[in-house]
Structure 1
Amino acid sequence: MPLPSHQWGVDVLSPQFAFLSLQRFRLCPKREQPTWPTLRDPVPTSSNAPELPCETLQTIFAFAAQPNSPDPRLEDIETVRASIAACSQVCQFWRAAARGYRALWVHSIDFQRLPLRVIIDYLHLSDPHPIPVGHRSSPFRISSVRDVSVLDTLFHYRHRIKEINLEIDPQCMRLTTYHWLFSSKMPLDTFRMTGTRAPGPDPRILVANPFQRITNGPLRKLSLQRPNFSLALSMDMSHLTELSVSDIVAANRMTAHQWIEILRKPSRLQVLSLHDAIQDGTIQVTGWSVRPPSKLQHLRLVSLGDRKSTVALRLLSIFCSTLLPSGCGVHLDFPEALAHESVTDAIASLIAPLELHFHHNLNLQASETPQVELDIGRFPWSKRWYIISLGPS
C-alpha cells in the first residue's frame, strides 16, 4: 500500500514534509496581541505628519481630547480616549508633544480595564491634575484581587481624586480597607457608591462615621445605593446639590421625621432622590409649628418611591406643603401593589397634595411648568395612567 501524500506532493512521513511544515509555520502571520501605550513603549521614528510647533500640537490635542460637556457621557469619554491614543502614536515628535501636555492624560485612565502598570504610568503623566475614578453609568467595580490592587494604588494619589464612582463586590469587602475614601481632606466633588450587605461584623466594613467626615469637605454630589449602614443625623450636608439614597435594609432606614431633619441643612440642594430609604410607619412630625423647615428654594427635582410601602408617597404631602418650590419637578414610584384598577381612588388620594400644590402656583409660564412623572408597577401590563392637572380646569 502506498504511503499517504500531502497536497504539497510529498509523503507525510518523509523528512521533507516535516521541513516544509516548519517553514510554513514560521511564515504564518502571528495574531496581534492588544497593547497599551506606556511611557516606555517605542514610538514611530518616521511619519508623514507635519512637524508643527509643540505648542500648536498641544492646542490641537486639547481640542481633540476635550469632552463636549462638563458632565460627559461614557460614550464621549471613550471617544476622547481613542483620540488621545491616536494623537500620541502618530510619530516620535507628536508623542513627545503629547507626553509634555499633562492635562491630556487625565481622560486616558480606565481603571477597570487597563493593566496596573499602565494606570501608574498615566497617573504619573497626568500629575498634578485632578482625576475621576469610574463614571456615573459605569462605576469602577471592585470584584477581583487586581481591582483591589488598583484601589490600593489610588490611595497614594488620593489628593488628586475629584470624583469617585465605586461598586464593591461582597467578596472583596475584607481584602482591603476603604476608610481612606471618606477623608474630609480629599478634594472630592462627587461620591457615588453602590455598596453591599456583607454579613457579619468587620471593623473595615463601611460604617456611617466615615460619611460624617466626607460631608465636612467640599462634596456636592452624594449617591448611596445598597449601603450596609444607616446615615447619621449629625451629617453636614449643607454643601450638597444632589442627594440620592436607595435600597437600604429596613433596619437601617430613617423615619420620615429624621429625613426632614436632615433636609433642614442642605440649603443648596437641587436634586433629591429617596427610594426604599424611608422607614415605614406613621409620619409624625413634631415641633413644626415652633420651628418649621424652610423651602428648598434651589430644588429642581424630587424623586420618591418604595416598592412595598406608600410611606414615600405620604411624605410627599409634607414636601408639597413646606419644602417644594413652585417650579420643582416630581417623580413618584408607586408600590407594585397599587398596579390594579381597584386602587385608582387610593392613587388619586396620594397625589391629591401634588395637584393642590401646583394649583396654588398658577402664575408659572408654559416654559416653567415642572415635569411630573408617575410610575406604577414594573411590568408593561401593570402600567396605569392618571391625569394630573397642573392648571385651572
Structure 2
Amino acid sequence: MSFFRDLSLSAVVTGFVVVLVGFTSTGALVFQAAQSLGANQAQINSWMWALGLGMGLATILPSLYYKKPVVAAWSTPGAALIATSATGVAGLTMAQAIGAFVVCAVLIVLAGATRLFERLMNRIPVAIASAMLAGVLLRFGIEAFVGVKSAPVMVLTMFAAHLLGKRFWPRYGVVGVLAVGVACALMTDSLKWAAVSVEWATPVWVTPEFSLPAIIGLALPLFLVTMASQNMPGVAVMRASGYDTPVSPVITTTGVINLIFAPFGGYTLNLAAITAAISMGPEAHEDRDKRYTAAVMAGVFYCLIGLVGAIVGGLFAAFPKELIIALAGLALMGTIGNGLAAATRDEGDREAAIITFLVTASGLSLAGIGSAFWGLVAGVLAMVVLKWRKA
C-alpha cells in the first residue's frame, strides 16, 4: 500500500502533535458543554467516544482518498455555544440538544452537497486567505514564549532544540522538540501521572427530540458559527498551504459522519485550522505530496482517543501546559511565516491582507462569531474599496 511507503517517523510524530494540541487545548470546554446539559459520566465518555471516532474517520477517509492532508476537529466555539445555550434556551434537555446536533449535521451536509460553501470560498483571494491563516496562528506563536515566565528551563530548551533542529535535522525538528520537552518535564517532575486512569469509553444512545426553540436557539447558531469560525478558516489553511482539495465533498463527508455520531454526543465536526496547519508544514514531511500521511496518523490517534477514552485523555492531561503551548507555537512558526509571505507578496493586495491579519489576530468576537470570519469580512471590504475603479 502506498500509504506505508509514504509514511515517515516525522509524519507519525506530527500526527501525534496534532491530536495532542487539539485535544488538550479545548478538551475541557467539551466536558463543560456536556455537563451543562446534565450529562452523567457515562454520557460524557460517550461524547468523547463519538467525537474521537468521528474526527478520526473524517480525517482518515478524505486524506487517504485525495492523498492530501485533511484534518477534522470538533467545533470549539460550538462547545462554548452549547454551554451557554443550556441556560439561554428555556428548558433545554439533553434529548433536545441531541436533536439540535442532528439538525446542524443535516445543514452541514446540505451546505457541502449544494456546493454553495465551496463557491464562496473559491472567490476569496489567496492574499486574504493567507493573512487570515497567519492571524489565526499568531497567538500560538506568541504564547510559545509566554511560557518562559512559568517554565523557563523547559521552554528555552525546547526553543534551542527547535533552532538546532532547523539547522541540522529539519525533517525531524518537531520530534526533537517533543523529546526535549518530555525530558525536561521528567527532570522537573512536572508530569501529572495522577491524571492517567484506566477507563474505556462506551457509546450511550440518546434519542433525539426535536423542538423549535432548540432548533432556533442552538441548531442554527451552531451551524453558522461552525461554518464561519471553523470550516472557513479550515479551507483557508488548505488553500494557503497550497492544497486544492475539493471542498464540497469533504464538507459533505464531515456532515454525514457528524449525523451518524450525533445521537451519541458528536455535536459538531468540521475542518480544523490550527492543528491542520501543523500537518501541512514541512515538519510533517519533506515531500509535500506525502504530508497526507501526517493527517492520516492524526486520524488514527483520534480514533484511539475515542476507543480508550480516559486513558489517552489522562496521558495528554499529564503533560505540563507550557510543554503543549510551546510545542504548538514552535511547530507552527514555518506556517506563520509562509502565510505572511504569501499575504504580502502582491503590493496591490498588501493593505487588505494586513487589515485581515490584524483583525484576525485581535481575537475580536461579535455575535458569537470569531475573529477569523470578521478578519475575512474586513479584508474583503478593504480590497473592494481600495480596488474600486471609477467609470
Q: Shared fold by TM > 0.5?
A: no
Who wins on radius of gyration, i.e. which is larger? 1
TM-score, with length taken from structure 2:
0.20
Of Structure 1 and Structure 2, which has the larger fraction of its residues in helix? 2
